[in-house]
Amino acid sequence: MNPVPTLEWTGDSLRLLDQRLLPGTEAFIECRDVETLACAIRTLAVRGAPAIGLAAAYGAVIAAIVTPPGSGFREGCRRLMRVLEATRPTAVNLFHCLASQERVLSAAENRAAAISGLLENARRLHDQDLAASAAMGRHGAALLPPDCAVLTHCNAGGLATGGLGTALAVIYEAHARGILREVYADETRPLLQGARLTAWEMVRAGIPVTVIPDSAAASLLASGRVNVVVVGADRIALNGDTANKIGTFSVALAARDAGVPFYVAAPVSTFDFATPDGSGIVIENRSAGEVARLGDTVTLASGAEVWNPAFDVTPAGLITGIICEHGVVSSPAETLRTQVDSGS
């Protein structure tokens, strides 16, 4: 599997594949300043928790490049990094990556050392993401039966990460092993990330994919045509409660009723060890316009109100297991215990 060109450092700027234009147009955004990158994150030109975190990590490099030298250099960088921090409240990877870059910035002796160190660390985080994706693919594929059909929700592929994916990494590995029959992708209203992005990735990789309306997921699961559900995550609380794209909770409920295993695939950078359970996860609410229009078509009666949460929280009790780079666990707390026991 060739990594999806989600994001790439070009020497003095960050090059992003503009996901708003897929699948019809493959165009790129050159981010040479922090505001351009922040706008790309806010408007979903780049999206998916790991990809947002990596974009912000490279954004810290841009912040250092555009901040003049002098006594106010570090604080100037921090102000720009706070602009990035404010773009999306739910995806915890954003905060993890910026915290990592803040440590590098604080330790740097001067501006040149800061730029060099921040870029080196961003590349390290990017490499870690690719390695974690490959590991999740291996661990997740080992759970799947031969000739299996997988249902996924939203997009948790290369477009949502550094290039390989979380839930879709499992699918790519299952396809490579010859055990995958087909993929079902929820269209994922209101912005159609499943129809536009997941289907695009599957077709690109030569994997059979069928897109279904979100409202058909329960019926599909009840039909017995799906063997397993695998989704991604934007934040996972310590007890295993998981925030993911709105509609994931509904799929998990339907999977439990149908007796279909429901897995979450996410790297450790998506685990929020400081949040005990899902009630503490901040859910981003997005604009009414995402629901009121579909392209140029008005889909909402004038005067009607809109509630448009970007995410929901699936309780840990509905999740069969969490696939991370260390294996399959029930919660971040279990991962912590595993790491302590192994001495890592």
Catalytic residues: 234
* Closest to 264 (Cα-Cα) out of 149, 128, 130, 156: 156
263-273 in b/e burial notation, b at 16+ Cβ within 10 A? bbbbbbbbbbe
Residue 293, φ and ψ in degrees, nearest 5:
-135, 150
* Closest to 230 (Cα-Cα) out of 337, 307, 143: 143
Alpha-helical (H) ranges within 178-270 are 193, 199-205, 217-222, 248-258
Strands annotated E in 190-338: 209-212, 228-231, 235-237, 242-245, 262-265, 271-272, 293-294, 297-298, 311-314, 321-324, 327-329
The type of residue at 187 is E
How far apart (Å, rounded) are the C-alpha atoms in residues 89 and 95?
A: 9
Name 152's bridge partners.
Answer: 185
Tally of CA atoms within 13 A in the half-sphere of 9 that contains its CB: 21
How far apart (Å, rounded) are the C-alpha atoms in residues 274 and 297?
A: 43
Rounded to the nearest angstrom, the gap between the alpha carbon of residue 325 and the centroid of all alpha carbons in its chain is 15
Start-to-end CA distance of the chain, whole Å, equals 29
Contact 154, 193 (CB under 8 A): yes
Token pair listed for 293: 């229009």
Per DSSP bridges, beta strands 28-31 and 148-152 are unpaired
Contact 234, 270 (CB under 8 A): yes
CA Rg value for the chain: 20
